[in-house]
Amino acid sequence: MALEITDANFEELVMNSDKPVMIDFWAVWCGPCRMIAPIVEEMSTEYEGKAVIGKVDVDNNQDVAMKYGIRNIPTVLFVKNGEVVDKQVGAAPKQAFIDKLEALL
């Protein structure tokens, strides 16, 4: 299951991670977010131990969303060594997320 990333644990789970991190910024009311949710969940299982896969609910964690300029959701950020190195704005096929994450492994 994808990790629940919050304003409180963002630093620990994302910035201090020794593995690449894929973060899905989403909201309950967002249709396209619901479309990619199963992809994010599948990838959290498939990449367990190789990468950190998490989700940030933008309604409940506005500090992180504002810090990274999240204006449209879903937005998926790819972080390596504490730096955002890639992103996907909007829903996309699973392979698009896999390709971006694989490039960081």
User: Residue 33 catalytic?
Assistant: yes
Q: What is the DSSP string of the chain?
A: --EE--TTTHIIIIIT-SS-EEEEEE-TT-HHHHHHHHHHHHHHHHTTTT-EEEEEETTT-HHHHHHTT--SSSEEEEEETTEEEEEEES---HHHHHHHHHTT-
Q: Which entry of 5, 23, 33, 36 is annotated as an active-site residue?
A: 33
Q: Which entry of 5, 14, 22, 30 is annotated as an active-site residue?
A: 30
User: Residue 79 catalytic?
Assistant: no
- Annotated catalytic residues are 30, 33
